[in-house]
Chains A and B, each alone.
Chain A
Amino acid sequence: MPPELLRMIIAAVLVVAFVFLNAMILGYMERKVSAHIQRRPGLMEVGPHGVLQLIVDGLKLIGKQLVVPEGSNKFLFRLAPVLSFAPCVLPFVVLPFARKLQIVSMDISLIFILAMTSINVIAILVAGWASNNKYSLFGTFRSVAQAVSYEIPMLLSILSIILITSTFSLQGIIAAQKYYWFILIQPLAFIIYFISGLAETNRAPFDMPEAESELTAGFHTEYSGMGFSFFFLAEYANMFTVCSIATVLFLGGWKGIPLPLGDYTGIFWFMLKVYGLLFVMIWVRWTYPRVRFDQLMTFCWKYLIPFSLANLLITAVLVKLI
């Protein structure tokens, strides 16, 4: 077997394993943080402080039957979870966990990640359409409208970083933050990116597609068992991807206080920053109520897009002058 192929197989296994592990860590973190914000202890029953609860939940979901509703488009209904899950795994292939811990180094890795995370919208569209259920369809409408709108400020804020670094390579962007993190010179872009990231991943307060109180569960209303858990895994994988792009673009990626074997142990700083941002996402979710749909759109088109355009323009002028 050629060594390159072997490397790819090992990497693929590791990445999928990490996606599952990440969903478990985040699921546990979400439930614990939400519990403590509401002054409850949260998970306590399975294992010490409930650490094994997510494994039990996972086993339960695997054991459940995938019910295909009558009148649904059977092929698309079964396709949608896979379509949601597969593109969410791919960004992990190009993420720079440390200087030498990157599976594939591409010059266009940032564009690759953005393209892959956008496919999730199609998966949601397919899931909602194939379910033949009004709640799913309404969730889908909202999700697509929201994702398409928030893609714009997200890309514009990323573009202002690209103007500074003039590279799409993630390692290149990290290398450009040699003396200072880009959050110091682009705080506005960071805030806009983070808010759009919350909306892109359908997180509260922008969780309109899954608004439980009005839409049952939104686009995955009809899904059970592994169908549901693929959407669940995809959501958490997407959150991780959004936060790791934020880490790479604004927080210096794997850079931190040097550790021994710095080319590999940079993963410690990378994970610390990413999970710090993920904590903020969870913290935000358990603080704010859900926005109304018109407020969601108003906020995007009247505030985020003008501000990100202005930010981009100022950055462009400054880059030209300096």
Chain B
Amino acid sequence: MNNRGYFGELWFGAKSLLIGLNVTIKELFRPIVTVQYPREECEITPNYRGHVELVFNTETGGCDCIVCGMCAKACPSDCLVVKGEKKEGEKRKSLTLFSLDFTKCSLCGSCVETCPKGALDYSQDYNIAGFTREEFHYDLIERLERRHQQPLAAAAGGN
């Protein structure tokens, strides 16, 4: 026992107990801070680093990828596959396949950093639970089309 003495201890204890009760009764009437997850969803901050996603270029209506393959080379886990073909009368290759095997991705972000055209960015999508591993083999072109409700058409490949 410390030097407060019998009654000092009693007084000190009773006072601190009342302070404790005051804290909890105040918390009782303050708003709820938890999110009911499947019913509600959190706002994601812009710096959230999900898996990679192709960036939509509003001017061209497609993506800026030039099929240089830098991202696939930079990837330490070999989870990106980029393919393109040169169509008749075009200067550059146009993108035909951009697939991400998210089961292997370590979210390092090397692909986003190496892309010379800034065509890759992090996704904001965090609701990515699935039942099979094939669900995590993303076709990023299809995801981009789905996000913008329109086929990328001839504009793909950029300028």
Residues of A within 8 A of B (CB): 33, 36-41, 44, 283-284, 286-288, 302-303
Q: Could you say which of B10, B17, B28, B36 contacts A41, with CB atoms under 8 Å apart?
A: B36
Residues of B within 8 A of A41 (CB): 32, 34, 36
- Separation in Å of the A191 CB from the closest CB of chain B? 9
The reply to whether B24 and A37 form a contact with Cβ atoms under 8 Å apart is yes
The reply to whether A39 and B31 form a contact with Cβ atoms under 8 Å apart is yes
Q: Interface size for chain B: under 10, 10 to 19, 20 to 34, or 35 or more residues? A: 10 to 19
The yes or no answer to B27 lying at the interface (CB within 8 A) is yes
- Separation in Å of the A243 CB from the closest CB of chain B? 17
The reply to whether B21 and A36 form a contact with Cβ atoms under 8 Å apart is no
The yes or no answer to B20 lying at the interface (CB within 8 A) is yes
Q: Could you say which of B6, B20, B31, B36 contacts A287, with CB atoms under 8 Å apart?
A: B20
- Separation in Å of the B24 CB from the closest CB of chain A? 4
The reply to whether B28 and A288 form a contact with Cβ atoms under 8 Å apart is no
Top-7 shortest CB links A-B: A287-B24, A39-B33, A40-B34, A37-B24, A287-B20, A36-B28, A41-B32
Residues of B within 8 A of A (CB): 6, 10, 17, 20-21, 23-25, 27-34, 36
Known: A36-B32, A283-B25. 6 other contacts (CB 8 A): A39-B27, A41-B36, A44-B36, A287-B21, A287-B24, A288-B20
Inter-chain contact count A-B, CB under 8 Å?
Answer: 35
**Distance, CA A36 to CA B33, complexed state (A):** 10
Closest to B33 in A: A39
The reply to whether A303 and B10 form a contact with Cβ atoms under 8 Å apart is yes
Residues of A within 8 A of B17 (CB): 288
- Separation in Å of the B128 CB from the closest CB of chain A? 24
Residues of B within 8 A of A302 (CB): 6
The reply to whether B34 and A37 form a contact with Cβ atoms under 8 Å apart is no
The reply to whether A39 and B20 form a contact with Cβ atoms under 8 Å apart is no
